[in-house]
Structure 1
Amino acid sequence: MDHAIGIDILQRRRRRHLAGALALAVLFGAVLWGANRALRPGVGAADIVVAEVRRGDVDNTINAAGVIIPVHEEVVSSPGASRVARVHAKPGQQVGAGELLLELDDREIRLALEAFKEQLAQQDNRVDVLALEMAQKIKQTRSSIELLEIDLQSARARHERNQKLRSSGLVSGEDLLTAQLNVQRNEIQLRQQRELVEDTRRATAGAIAAARLQQAILHKQIARQEGLLAQTRVCAPFSGMLTSLVEEEGASVAAGQLVARVSELNNYRVEASLSDFHARQLAPGQPVRVAQNGAVLAGTVRTILPEIQNGSIKLLVDLAQPHNPQLRNKMRVDVDVVTARRAGVLVIDKGAAFNGRGRQPAFRVDGGMARKTVLELGAGDGKVVEVAAGARAGDRFIVSDTAAFKELDTIRITN
């Protein structure tokens, strides 16, 4: 015989059915949520950097590595092979113009100088001797000329007398001829003696000229040795900072070896190095931005050095503030050379998501989603980059590294 089911039993069954249906709904929702997570990967908002496209100005720049160098720097070299005799200064100290830095051994230079001075004294003596000998020879010759002039007068008088006597038949023709020949002989001897005076002068003048030439050569050699002697006392060429010095007393130095370097204080420029790939884009006068520890200094390209070493080219940059107190010798800085400027264009902050110029993928952020699109990027200055096509002002893009999801078309952005 059938019995009626109690109300409490029916209620328990109904509660079990409701609990089962609720559990199935929760399970179905969890499955849907898991499937959505699997099909649409996400990234945390804190793990990405998002920037907005906006209107602005952008410079096309070329980055280079730079080092601060003095505008005026002078090196002092050893005048010859020597050794350091005494050191009077230390690298890093400020020195005044003409201040003694070190002394080099000067014994060999002094010996050479004394030898040249002795040779010069010999040449001086030779000139004096030649002049004295010439004066004596000319004096003797002139005495001979005076005697010959008297003999000539006597021979002429005798010849004239014989001519008169010949007309009277008192002198033979032979005596007359002899008197005439005596006159001619005296005239020839007198002419020879006069020529001897000039020959003596010319010969002596040539010997004296050769001696004076040797004197001039010795004077130059002495001046050179005196210059080398002065260089053994190494002094500061101008007031500045002593940046380099051979400090060890007794150390050997070769001819031409650098022994000291003095740099001008608080007056600097920049020497920048970059790949020769950019050589055609560089030109003197281009504006430059020099950055160091957050500070940015303006400058201008002064000179592009013609030599290329190991694929790198160097240029010198004049600073608008060469006396800036933050600058230090040999300080390393970042240099941006501005090759072109564009104003009022669409720009976006530079980030790891972008690589140079041209067409490249990017993720546009819209609400909680980021969808892949293609941007045409143009000039960049290291901080912002031009958006030539593919976006409008106000669009937002992920600018941090997107390599982890570069193969996806859509990603979710979670809080």
Structure 2
Amino acid sequence: MTALVWGADLLRPSVRRDRVRTARVQSGPLEASLTASGTVVPAIEHVISSPIDARVLAVLRRVGDHLKAGDPIVRLDTSDSELDAEKLRQNIALKGNEQARTRLTLESQLIELDGQIKSKDLELQALTAALASNQALAKEGLVSKEALRESELKAAQADVDLGRLKQSRVNAEATNRTQLEGLSLEMRSLHAEDAQQRRLLELTTTQSDRNGVLTFVQDEEGALVRRGDVVARVADLTAFRVEATTSDVNASRISVGQPVSVRLDDLVTAGHVSVVEPQMQNGALKFLVSLDQPDATWLRSNLRVDVQVITDRKARVLRVARGPFAQGGGAQQVFVLRSNRAYRTPVRLGVSNFDWFEVVEGLAEGDEIIASDMRDYESAPELRVK
């Protein structure tokens, strides 16, 4: 690529035009951004927890297996839970017997009270008839006042007794209804516990509730898992998001809602910052990106991607395409092409993104620069271009 020529007592290096990359300064919009590294992850990952305290009997699937909804993953030991379920069934049977006995007892009480009421009602009718007869005889002077008074008292007492029996029946009926409702409530509670226990037993062969890929499984057979412990995770691979990290020096420049560009070579999709984790880890800030096209065909789980967080938008600036000639903004030395010469020129670059550097000073619109890595010529003020 390089040749040496003599001229004006100066040893001048040269480069071949077809061996270097060039870029032209132009005017246009520029979105300033900061760079982060990202990893594509499933947007949804279903966590399957143990429904009971149990031991792992069998691991039916391995990490990486593709699952369909309903596929079993892990089988858990159910012996203790089955014992609890059997106790519940026995309690339901006992409570049912208690409920039946109570109903029969209460029905017997009501039948007995009904009999007493009927008997007392007949007695009252007889006493009332006797009273009416004595009252008629008393008008003719055939019955003494004492006998009439005694008839009145007996009829009044029978009427009071009948009223008391009827009220006792009302009270007994209300008490019976309360007792039966209480027993029914206990029975419903036991049935609900039994249904829950049956559901838990059905879940002990943990199943995937969706199509996806198994990303984690408790694969140690015989291991004890507590109720609520994670035994498997199933990722839905039809939609993705990006987990990104950047230097903690950028923490103040990243916030929820900022637009983001995610790129893999020439493949690009847009998104926005959805979560910024509050704590730094090892000098890095982690944030999550929701994608506008989470089901883009080129997205793959664990795929490494470049992430650009848009921090500013400028409607019109001088800009030049990114290239190895500069690693960042600030003061730079670039070679500007003039005919068959390239002149070393100090410039200052501003903000940048995937594609462009902002030119702050040192270059004009239309200037053409060498965009290749020119560190081998950093001491040369001028180059011949062949």
Q: Normalised by the size of structure 1, how large is the TM-score?
A: 0.77
CA contact (8 A) 2:255 2:276 kept: no
Alignment of 1:383-398 (within 5 A): 383-392=355-364, 393-394=366-367, 396=369
- The equivalent of 2:261 in structure 1 is 288
Aligned with 1:156: secondary structure? helix
Alignment of 1:340-359 (within 5 A): 340-342=312-314, 345-350=317-322, 354=326, 356-357=328-329
Give the partner amino acid of 1:362: Q
Alignment of 1:62-211 (within 5 A): 62-211=34-183
Aligned with 2:232: secondary structure? strand
Residues 258 and 268 of structure 1: CA distance in aligned 2, closer, same or farther (over 3 Å): same
Shift of 1:209: 1.2
CA contact (8 A) 2:256 2:275 kept: no
Residue of 294, 304, 307 corresponding to 2:274: 304
Aligned with 1:338: secondary structure? strand
Residues 192 and 112 of structure 1: CA distance in aligned 2, closer, same or farther (over 3 Å): same
- The equivalent of 2:219 in structure 1 is 247
Q: Does 1:322 align with 2:295?
A: yes
Quote the Cα distance in structure 1 between the aligned partners of 2:187 and 2:35: 62
Quote the Cα distance in structure 2 between the aligned partners of 1:249 and 1:195: 68
Quote the Cα distance in structure 1 between the aligned partners of 2:368 and 2:137: 146
CA contact (8 A) 2:67 2:208 kept: yes
Residues 370 and 256 of structure 1: CA distance in aligned 2, closer, same or farther (over 3 Å): same
Residues 368 and 297 of structure 1: CA distance in aligned 2, closer, same or farther (over 3 Å): closer
Identity %: 25
Stretch deviating more after TM superposition (207-216 or 335-344):
335-344
Aligned with 1:362: secondary structure? strand
Residue of 290, 295, 305 corresponding to 1:333: 305
- The equivalent of 1:20 in structure 2 is none
CA contact (8 A) 1:82 1:253 kept: yes
Who wins on radius of gyration, i.e. which is larger? 1
CA contact (8 A) 1:270 1:319 kept: no
Residues 212 and 307 of structure 1: CA distance in aligned 2, closer, same or farther (over 3 Å): farther
Residues 107 and 88 of structure 1: CA distance in aligned 2, closer, same or farther (over 3 Å): same
CA contact (8 A) 1:69 1:330 kept: yes
CA contact (8 A) 1:86 1:103 kept: yes
Residues 382 and 44 of structure 1: CA distance in aligned 2, closer, same or farther (over 3 Å): farther
Question: How many positions carry a matched residue from both structures?
Answer: 368
- The equivalent of 2:346 in structure 1 is 373
CA contact (8 A) 1:75 1:261 kept: yes
Quote the Cα distance in structure 1 between the aligned partners of 2:210 and 2:304: 26
- The equivalent of 2:244 in structure 1 is 272
Q: Normalised by the size of structure 2, how large is the TM-score?
A: 0.82
CA contact (8 A) 1:149 1:190 kept: yes
Quote the Cα distance in structure 1 between the aligned partners of 2:262 and 2:212: 27
Residue of 22, 25, 41 corresponding to 1:54: 25
Quote the Cα distance in structure 1 between the aligned partners of 2:92 and 2:294: 56
Structure (1/2) with the larger helix percentage: 1
**After superposition, what is the alpha-carbon deviation per residue over 1:209-237, rounded to whole angstroms, capped at 9, x for unaligned?**
11111112212211221121111011121
Shift of 1:380: 0.8
Structure (1/2) with the larger strand percentage: 2
Give the partner amino acid of 1:288: S
Residues 99 and 355 of structure 1: CA distance in aligned 2, closer, same or farther (over 3 Å): closer
Shift of 1:404: 11
Quote the Cα distance in structure 1 between the aligned partners of 2:102 and 2:294: 68
Shift of 1:398: 7.8
**After superposition, what is the alpha-carbon deviation per residue over 1:303-358, rounded to whole angstroms, capped at 9, x for unaligned?**
5215422162412231537242x54322222112334455664323446775655x
Aligned with 2:169: secondary structure? helix
Residues 401 and 226 of structure 1: CA distance in aligned 2, closer, same or farther (over 3 Å): farther
Quote the Cα distance in structure 2 between the aligned partners of 1:352 and 1:52: 11
CA contact (8 A) 1:297 1:319 kept: no
Quote the Cα distance in structure 1 between the aligned partners of 2:69 and 2:150: 89
Structure 2 unmatched runs, 5+: 1-7
